[in-house]
Amino acid sequence: MSFIMASHFTTPKKPLTWLITGCSSGFGLSLARIVQANGHNLIATSREPSNTPNLISEIEAKGGKWLKLDVNDPSCDGVIEELEAQGQPVDVLVSNAGFCIYNVAENFTDKEVRDLMETLYFGPSRLIRAAVRHQRQRRFGVIVNISSGAALEANPSMGAYAAGKGALDCMAKALAKEVEAFNIRVLTVLLGTFNTGMGNATILGRNPLPEDYRGSMSERIMDMMSKGRFAPNGDKDKAMKAVYEVIVGEGAGKHHEAERLLPLGRDLAARIQTVQDYLAHAMQIFGEICNNVHLEVN
């Protein structure tokens, strides 16, 4: 299957309506502000709007709308249907809401894994399916998933988080090929470590770390995150400016409107190289057998 991008992607010359999840802080809030500063229509969402009244006032004072949206709600896709019925077509859907629970893979509870998958995969998937149905009829739309280097190369203690991000990334790859004929673009944003405050909201798994893992990389990462020693590499506002430009085809995104993957962060670049080396090594060792397990043609 070829990964050659579509030759063109047509964006209407008008303000676009953006729906962004997880706008109470971090990437979501940064992108929301950039979207408004550039004259677009913004629908910001968060799980508990009552916790951020000042942000709601800021967004609404500039003509935006702030909605309560819990992506874990099985009926969260109803927000898309309501907006469309009200004459507010969602041109750009940005799935950004997320969180991480840290523990070694054998130690997660079912509930912890399911909660992560709801937020990182099932919730965004519901919103995407609803948005694409309408975008297909209009022959225009942009689906944006804020992903992570964890989906490429999961660090110890982040297996469940990586599984959720990786699941959405793989769905996006298929979706992009399915909908490009309808002038719908699917963009995955792979991010390294940024100053989003993620280190201040660390959640450790409920099961204590087994003694065998004492002194391991898993324990060191969990300790670093839980004690606030996390040192991000990137500037979230610079990253979201790049995301905005690539979505609208300006600045860094000019002439790259059909691209499907946007990597951001110096530390991410190193992780991409690690994955490339990992695959190259596998082919170096097993390439011959890889190419010699075919059916023999008589």
- Say if domain 17-287 classifies as CATH 3.40.50.720: yes
What is the CA angle 65-67-73, rounded to 5? 155
Report the distance separating Cα 73 and Cα 89, nearest Å: 21
Report the distance separating Cα 95 and Cα 144, nearest Å: 6
Residue pair 139/182 in contact (Cβ under 8 Å)? The answer is yes
Across 77-96, average pLDDT:
97
Instruction: Reply yes or no on whether the pLDDT at 2 is more than 70.
Output: no
Q: Which amino acid is at 172?
A: A
**What pLDDT, on the 0 to 100 scale, is given for residue 297?**
86
Across 143-170, average pLDDT:
96
94-148 confidence digits (pLDDT tens): 999 999 999 999 999 999 999 999 999 999 999 999 999 999 999 999 999 999 9
Token readout for 1 is: 């299957």
**What pLDDT, on the 0 to 100 scale, is given for residue 199?**
58
Flag whether the pTM goes above 0.85: yes
Closest CA to 163 of 208, 118, 207: 118
**What pLDDT, on the 0 to 100 scale, is given for residue 198?**
66
Average pLDDT of the chain to the nearest whole number? 94
9-37 confidence digits (pLDDT tens): 888 888 999 999 999 999 999 999 999 99
Tell me the chain's radius of gyration from C-alpha atoms.
Answer: 20
Instruction: Reply yes or no on whether the pLDDT at 49 is more than 80.
Output: yes
Residue pair 179/126 in contact (Cβ under 8 Å)? The answer is no
Secondary structure of the chain: what % helix, strand, coil (to 5)? 50, 15, 35
Catalytic residues, by residue number, are 147, 161, 165
